[in-house]
Structure 1
């Protein structure tokens, strides 16, 4: 689909649920039982207010009893792992060797990459995810196919070529100079495409698979173009130990990224389960963000991230599905897993806090908090319409079902900059990711 804004102001009527402004580290939401959402010709929200007859002079699309809410944001998802969801082949390093790397090698075939890219974007949109931060494979052709699919789908996406020049299969290994040249070409083609909906991200897989020279060159490219950096950190103890054996010049895992220049205010580090207090302190100093991936952490047995460690230091935390170790594209599954993760650690998160985490909180973590994440005047109109059972009344019931019983709430429509990117026919079964 085109990323062009709507041709004229449009208005949508429905119930409305949105984080309150500046509430990304809290649980405050706004609920309206009957609201009007007005989208301007520039794709931005003009107004989100209680419905009043005659207040808008123009056609109004009545979506009641659906609830209008911000589109979900997935801060960590792997495009080449779309077809290996549920591959239970061991803990992280074993799983990579047995399931992930063989599948990612198939993405050297542009035809296969294009086919999976279409599946990937369709499943995101059907799950209500309007923005994604994506790892591609180490193949430039597959990354082109990913960006092309995001553009055609009309989704907002930040994606990057996965960098690996050591400790990986030969089929996926790309030497430093070749990888940086490929990344630079992709920046020129795709960064800012789709009217700014698409961005390129510097994407070292993790420090274990990258030489110091590759990471330093990647950091320079990120600096030159002000690019987001995404990678993994401290997912399992074995990974952390192997990383420090590979990079003995660093004092700890975070220090690897710090010394090569990747730890900046635009760094997005997934997992962060086994970080020391010093590492958390340094993350806060650098103003880097962490992505919480609780569903994949449970699936691989990687451990439990303590949100309290991040919150105590005001480290911004986004939420990620981490497909394919994550078992669903649906961010509601990730919200529910985040609740379980906290409960295991003696904490109890409110459904409202989980909803805020998957919307405004994640927007803040990826640097788009002033653009998307809530439904308020001036922001870009990335929103979804979710149809709940009609007997559910009020904010508390809706939030409980949204987070803990998503099979009862179908994503009926999705919009990016006010333009439709998904429509589920009434009566059709809801989309369920495995």
Structure 2
């Protein structure tokens, strides 16, 4: 029995950021390509006949014209909102109070948390997602349930206990000290174990007192190799609320900055209505922001300025934002990002969309040395796309003149039927 597997098909990888260099210089497409897997990692990438000759004993899986690329990396989700996705709502605060908080209270039941964690990872796998960065609830068991579910799959995961000590229901609030102690306990038990990364997770400024934000800032200083994830400037009325709660803050970002919650390993979801100062500070410290297009349209938050932020060299990832987002699919998320780009008169190229959903998100999560690309030495998290998965897509592909024209219809119209195969940690999922 061989310990190597050779995947055959079209292969897409990236050598640079397609927002910064010409598309053809940033992306590498092998029409007759191959990817060699060994011990959970990508051992080699190249032309199929070359790799077949070099590794004649490798187990071969031929995907024909299927496109082998990095598994999708979803950089901002709320797995506890799985069961309430696509719930009708008005504005963010109404939606949180009507749907999110009542559902999250149920995660004090560890069995329920485990059930949803496994359901969520099954759903995302069906859509080609191999890594997520998720918020849990205030319950430490909700974090452990997700870590255990991912661990059983050999899956890379980022998550943390959501911390809230005000403006939340009594059954969904902790204290500043509990947020510190429970997060520290989870870091000690889980961070760096197998493929697990811990993210210190204040939900957002309105649901944390200054005391809680300060203690979480202190915790991050003590564990600087952890990520820190939170929300930033999602809606205009939210921003007004924040500034009312923090009257001494220069802006929304400053409500985190004054407590040590800004840094290179900070990940800020949404970031739609940013001031020039906030953009400059995010760039200066090397922090990342995450575009959540289906959520931003579903809840009516606004239009993310991809072109403006990328021109300022701010790190940007892409995310479904389950369950404010209306789909588990990163393909649907890419389509929505394209549509928002059109509304801002800055349409995105197919290469840029695929880069955001893989390498861009991995970079934002500081995991690009491990995942997010098809490159020798990286972990073997891959998705194989069927570029003719439906009759509507197939007829468009039949009239395509070049590679990107064959990929774009799947981005715009594809769903789980386009996911031909998923490989996680070198194993067929």
TM-score, normalization by structure 1: 0.91
- 1:81-114 deviation digits (Å, cap 9, x = unpaired): 0011111121101100111111111111111111
After superposition, residues 14-163 of structure 1 pair within 5 angstroms as 14-23=9-18, 25=20, 27=23, 28-41=26-39, 43-52=40-49, 53-58=52-57, 59-163=59-163
Q: Is the 8 A contact 1:69 1:374 kept in 2?
A: yes
Match of 1:430 in 2: none
SS at structure 2 position matched to 1:171 = helix
2:204 paired residue among 206, 220, 225: 206
Q: Equivalent residue of 1:38, what SS?
A: strand
Query: In 1, Cα distance between the equivalents of 2:406 and 2:221?
Result: 43
Query: Superposition RMSD on alpha carbons, in Å?
Result: 1.7
Tell me which residue corresponds to 2:337. 338
Contact 1:402 1:409 in 2 (8 A): no
Q: Supply the distance in 1 between the matched residues of 2:324 and 2:20 (Cα, whole angstroms).
A: 26
Whole-Å Cα distance in 1 between the matches of residues 124 and 2 of structure 2? 25
CA-to-partner distance for each residue in 1:369-391, whole Å, 9 max, x for gaps?
22221111122211111223286
1:413 counterpart SS class:
strand
Task: Please tell me whether the aligned partners of residues 329 and 415 of structure 2 are also in contact (alpha carbons under 8 angstroms).
Answer: no
Provide the residue aligned with 1:8 in structure 2.
3
TM-aligned CA distance change 1:190 to 1:398, over 3 Å:
farther
The reply to whether residue 271 of structure 1 matches residue 266 of structure 2 is no
Task: Output one character per residue of 1:239-286: Cα deviation in whole Å (capped at 9) or x when no partner.
Answer: 111111111121110111111001100000011111111111111111
Q: Distance in 1 between matches of 2:416 and 2:207?
A: 42
Alignment of 1:320-359 (within 5 A): 320-359=319-358
Residue deviations 1:290-326 (CA, integer Å, cap 9, x gap): 0001110000001111112211210000001001011
TM-score (norm 2): 0.92
Contact 2:410 2:418 (8 Å CA) reproduced: no
Structure 1 stretch displaced more, 389-398 or 68-77? 389-398
SS of 2:367's equivalent? coil
Compared CA separation, residues 8 and 21, structure 1 to 2 (3 A): farther
2:221 corresponds to = 223
The answer to whether residue 254 in structure 2 is matched with residue 258 in structure 1 is no
Give the Cα separation in 2 of the matches to 1:407 and 1:332: 7
Q: Deviations over 1:23-70 (max 9, x none)?
A: 4755432211211111223x2222111111523221222222322110
CA positional deviation for 1:406: 0.6
d(CA) in 2 for partners of 1:263 and 1:76? 17
- Taking the aligned partners of 2:154 and 2:19, their CA distance within structure 1 comes to 26
Q: d(CA) in 2 for partners of 1:328 and 1:79?
A: 12
2:411 to 403, 406, 409: 403
* DSSP-derived class of the 2:13 partner: strand
Residue-by-residue CA offset, 1:320-364 (whole Å, 9 max, x unaligned): 100101111110111011111111111111111111111111111
User: For the residues of structure 1 that align with 2:80 and 2:30, how far apart are their CA atoms?
Assistant: 40
